[in-house]
Amino acid sequence: MSAKLKTAVLGATGYSGFELTRLLLRHPRLEKPVLLSRQSDPDANSNLADAYPTLSGNGSYPLKPFSWPSLTQQGVELLFLATPHEASRSLVPQAIAQGLRVIDLSGAWRLKQAHNRAVYKFEDADAVTAAELTDKAVYGLPELCSDQIPDAALVANPGCYATSVILALAPLIKAGVVDRERGIISDSKSGVSGAGKEANARTHFVSVADNLSAYSVFGHRHVGEMLEQLKLAADELIFTPHLLPIPRGILSTIYAHLSREMKPAEIESIYRDFYAGRQWVRVFATPKLPQIQFSLHTNYCDLGFCLAEDGRRLVLVSCVDNLLKGAAGQAVQNMNLMYGWNEEEGLQ
């Protein structure tokens, strides 16, 4: 085996960053990742095992001060950004300029179209570079974009909701069997880690427990990714996220009309063909449906469906662990592709 890859993680104390760090720590192709924090971070100069005692007992995980020179001096080749999108937007141009490859877990570089990016209100210091990088950035959904990922300098790791919705719909839309004019609906439900580690009234235990709530109706940031990747018009998709009283996991219930009458077996074939050879998507035999528990703590996206007797009205169910296939696991999968390794490495 050749020399191990040197990676670094900025933002390891967030939920996704921590999950990513755990994966990198046991990935057979990597040296122990460099964990970084910026001076302004609340966790600067701390130890990751203090924030996550589950990690203790296996060595030390100091968060080192972030600086470009130290990164290159340490020979880091690949930088993972588990930072807020504003930070990622300003850090990525610098990283690329340093010759680093980057996998960014934020929404900063996922969107090609300006009107979709508008919701993020980016303020780019250097608009030309930002535009170039926006062009170069590869959307890191391996099951759809595996041809571009190997050579990418910048991989924009997809949003958790977007992953669950795009993987459920792509086979049918690409097969041309969805009546897009009738409208597609994704009613999605996520565990609380998807809302981030910030403590606020919304993430307080008493607000979430024994509850369910819809939010960001007609206005969630992940919709742009879904539209771009699925090549849908804005009025062809309604996406409604809900906050579940569970720590992690996403279930999307998706409603579509088929453009012609079909049999369940035909649909199942489309999915099986589309995901043939793709380890991290599991297609359930109809009418069996995935549940959140089945994909928790795995990198799987689980897909199932039920077709009405009319052969037209379709209900899809898609589950992912928002911290794995919806974030950190997918980032590792992207890294595997970028370095020519087996897509499963470090993820079993």
Could you list the active site residues?
A: 160
Distance CA 44, CA 344 (A): 32
Counting contacts by CB under 8 A, is residue 201 touching a copy of itself?
A: yes
User: Given candidates 35, 105, 289, 347, which one binds a copy of itself under the rule CB under 8 A?
Assistant: 289
How many residues in total does the chain contain?
A: 348
Least distance CB 289 / a copy of itself (angstroms): 6
Counting contacts by CB under 8 A, is residue 44 touching a copy of itself?
A: no
CA trace torsion 75, 56, 40, 125 (10° rounding): 40
Least distance CB 245 / a copy of itself (angstroms): 6
Q: Hey, what are 287's tokens?
A: 């009418």
Looking only at residues 111 through 170 of this chain, which bind a copy of itself when binding is defined by CB under 8 A? none
Looking only at residues 265 through 284 of this chain, which bind a copy of itself when binding is defined by CB under 8 A? 279, 282, 284
User: Given candidates 84, 183, 264, 311, which one binds a copy of itself under the rule CB under 8 A?
Assistant: 183
Query: 108 CB contacts (<8 Å, ≥6 apart)?
Result: 85, 86, 88, 89, 92, 120, 122, 156
Counting contacts by CB under 8 A, is residue 261 touching a copy of itself?
A: no
Looking only at residues 9 through 38 of this chain, which bind a copy of itself when binding is defined by CB under 8 A? 15, 26
Q: Which residue lies nearer to a copy of itself by CB, 93 or 224?
A: 224
Instruction: Tell which residue, 166, 209, 216, has the closest CA to residue 191.
Output: 209
Query: 317 CB contacts (<8 Å, ≥6 apart)?
Result: 168, 251, 252, 253, 254, 289, 290, 303, 304, 305
Least distance CB 204 / a copy of itself (angstroms): 5
User: Given candidates 36, 192, 227, 262, which one binds a copy of itself under the rule CB under 8 A?
Assistant: 192
User: Given candidates 211, 261, 272, 273, which one binds a copy of itself under the rule CB under 8 A?
Assistant: 211
Distance CA 143, CA 148 (A): 11
For a copy of itself, what does the binding mask look like between residues 60 and 99, x meaning CB under 8 A? ----------------------------------------
Distance CA 137, CA 85 (A): 14
